[in-house]
């Protein structure tokens, strides 16, 4: 039987082995950054897009806010069992500090199960009904407003106001919508109702909305990032580099759909046994492999699998081999954030969190759990940093060679907002990966991309259309 002096070094050695299995050093992160950069170029190429896993979808958002946008806009947000309608009023900037001056009012409507799983026409009829109720309550039924529609499902976009649904997700299965233009279906529902009129100018991806909502306050914001349940990024690209489109003058926002990075196996050397287990037991096996290493949907499960391995090896929890910890999904990602938040409060706070899983944890157990949580969340932040650094390098390639460049990344998502160290770790690693390139990357929290961002995209498109009409 080992004495305590022998046990502690043995425990530390096994924990270090696991940390090394999870951690990615700078050499590996640099390699991932270059692989992402190559995949981006492949996605932009006409002859290579079919083979690219990062699809680099043109959003048809061709301009950022310039501060002159004004007016009242309606924003719609459909992405789950709640549907939100917003009135967004963009006014003159504050004369004292030149800050944006936006006023919003909104209402949330439930999407009944029989609506989201029934006939497609009924789904859009319900949306039109909610719009009518909202406009009636604000006495705006007789006012024709420009509309931005945040539709957070996979779509193939053919224009700013044309998007064909590729597939339903999030429990939606309404018949007759897949393959159809969702804006056309909404317009038809509004016409059937005959109670109000509106001008649907834009259908919006939530990542693009995140960038736009931040760009209204930070003019150098050229990137949008979401790190929440899922993860995605977008950025402003030169049209001359987007071979899928014929136009070659100006810029356009590219919705990267970067969660699929690695689905062709190019990240396999950086994945570990926990990543493989998570993927093999997921509903979309073999897909979204980069996202599965980063996002909130999977972070807690990776920690759980690592803790189960240490428990089976007798390192923690007195070597237990059954109980709630061994149930898939039992270690929520919120536990990771909570544990890393309360470290400074002492082990009692960590023990209280672990008690949710019926784990009687000694101080030594808590110390190991903290280290595992830190390793998994640090890796997620570093992987995100590699992706953002790749985008920064790509944008820099579009600039004059000797010019320094400052980029602001607008970020949204629960992991970024609620994890105590994620944002700091990611920013530091991006700075390291961009050293010597003349690029400075800063981050700003983006507020309400699906609401304010959708309205701003609509406002910019409305301004551009008015300018085009004036030139005719």
Closest CA to 442 of 235, 207, 209, 218: 218
Q: Return the CATH class of domain 13-57+224-445.
A: alpha beta
pLDDT at 98: 67
Out of 77, 125, 161, 206, the active site residue is: 206
Q: Which two tokens stand for residue 462?
A: 């409305």
Task: Give the pLDDT score at 6.
Answer: 47
What tokens does 341 get?
A: 């938040």
Please report the pLDDT score of residue 345 as a whole number: 79
Burial-class residue 121 by CB neighbours within 10 Å (0-12, 13-18, 19+).
Answer: middle
Which residue in the list 77, 84, 365, 377 is annotated as catalytic? 84
Q: Is 152 a catalytic residue?
A: yes
Identify which of 378, 356, 8, 61 has the alpha carbon closest to the alpha carbon of residue 202.
61
Q: What is the CATH number of domain 71-204?
A: 3.30.420.40
Opening angle at CA 156, ends 178 and 82, nearest 5: 60
User: Domain residues of the chain, as ranges?
Assistant: 13-57+224-445, 71-204
Q: Is 423 a residue of the active site? A: no
pLDDT number for residue 11: 78
The model's pTM: 0.89
Matching fold, domains 13-57+224-445 and 71-204 = no
| pLDDT average per 10 residues of sequence, the chain (472 residues) | 52 92 97 98 96 93 85 90 92 72 92 94 97 96 94 87 88 92 97 94 91 90 93 95 90 93 97 97 90 94 97 93 95 95 87 93 94 97 98 92 89 94 98 94 90 90 76 60
pLDDT on residue 471: 62
What are the DSSP calls for 96-147, one per residue? TT---EEEEEEEEEE--HHHHSSBHHHHHHHHHHHHHHHHHHTT-TTS-EEE
The yes-or-no answer on residue 84 being catalytic is: yes
Cα–Cα distance measured from residue 115 to residue 122, given in angstroms and rounded to the nearest whole number: 6
As to burial, measured by CB atoms within 10 angstroms (0-12 exposed, 13-18 middle, 19+ buried), residue 69 is buried
Three-state DSSP state, 189:
helix
Q: Which of 87, 58, 80 is nearest to 458 (CA)?
A: 87
- Give the separation between CA 6 and CA 471, rounded to whole angstroms: 81
Among the options 152, 295, 337, 446, which is catalytic? 152
Which secondary-structure segment (H or E) carries 308?
Answer: helix 296-312
Q: Which residues on adjacent β-strands are paired with residue 232?
A: 226
Contact 193, 130 (CB under 8 A): no
Q: How far apart are CA 85 and CA 74, in angstroms?
A: 7
Structure tokens at 64: 């950022």
pLDDT at 97: 67
CA distance 103 to 72: 9
pLDDT for 16 equals 95
Distance CA 367, CA 277 (A): 25
């Amino acid at each position: 039987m080992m004495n305590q002096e022998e046990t502690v070094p043995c425990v530390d050695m096994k924990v270090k082995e696991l940390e090394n299995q999870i951690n990615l050093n700078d050499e590996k992160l640099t390699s991932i950054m270059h692989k992402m950069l190559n995949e981006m170029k492949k996605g932009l190429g006409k002859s290579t897009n079919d083979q690219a896993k990062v699809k680099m979808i043109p959003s048809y958002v061709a301009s950022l806010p310039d501060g002159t946008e004004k007016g009242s806009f309606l924003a719609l947000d459909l992405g789950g069992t709640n549907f939100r309608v917003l009135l967004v009023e963009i006014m003159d900037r504050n004369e004292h500090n030149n800050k944006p001056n936006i006023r919003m009012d909104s209402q949330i409507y439930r999407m009944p199960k029989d609506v989201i799983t029934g006939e497609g026409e009924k789904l859009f009829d319900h949306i039109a009904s909610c719009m009518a109720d909202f406009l009636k309550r604000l006495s705006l039924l007789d006012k024709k407003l420009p509309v931005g529609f945040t539709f957070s499902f996979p779509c193939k976009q053919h224009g700013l106001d044309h998007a064909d649904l590729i597939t339903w997700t999030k429990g939606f299965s309404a018949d007759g919508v897949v393959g159809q233009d969702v804006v056309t279906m909404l317009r038809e529902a509004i016409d059937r109702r005959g109670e109000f009129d509106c001008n649907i100018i834009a259908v919006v991806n939530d990542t693009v909305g995140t960038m736009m909502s931040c760009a209204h306050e930070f003019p150098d914001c050229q990137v949008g990032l979401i790190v929440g349940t899922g993860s995605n990024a977008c950025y402003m690209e030169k049209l001359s580099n987007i071979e899928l489109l014929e136009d070659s003058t100006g810029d356009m926002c590219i919705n990267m759909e970067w969660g699929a990075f690695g689905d062709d196996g190019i990240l396999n050397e950086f994945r570990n046994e926990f990543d493989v287990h998570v993927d093999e037991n997921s509903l979309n096996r073999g897909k979204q492999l980069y996202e599965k290493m980063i996002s909130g949907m999977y972070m807690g499960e990776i920690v759980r699998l690592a803790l189960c391995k240490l428990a089976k090896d007798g390192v923690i929890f007195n070597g237990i081999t059954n109980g709630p910890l061994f149930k898939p999904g039992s270690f929520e990602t919120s536990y990771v954030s909570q544990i890393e938040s309360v470290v400074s409060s002492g082990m009692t706070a960590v023990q209280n969190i672990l008690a949710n899983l019926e784990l009687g944890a000694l101080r030594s157990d808590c110390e190991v759990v903290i280290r595992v949580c830190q390793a998994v969340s640090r890796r997620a932040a570093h992987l995100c940093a590699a992706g953002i650094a790749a985008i920064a390098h790509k944008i820099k390639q579009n600039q004059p060679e000797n010019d320094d460049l400052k980029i602001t990344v607008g970020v949204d998502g629960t992991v970024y907002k609620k994890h105590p160290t994620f944002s700091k770790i990611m920013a530091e690693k991006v700075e390291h990966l961009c050293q010597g390139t003349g690029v400075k990357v800063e981050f700003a929290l983006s507020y309400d991309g699906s609401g304010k961002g959708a309205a701003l995209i609509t406002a910019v498109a409305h301004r551009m259309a008015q300018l085009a009409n004036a030139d005719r």
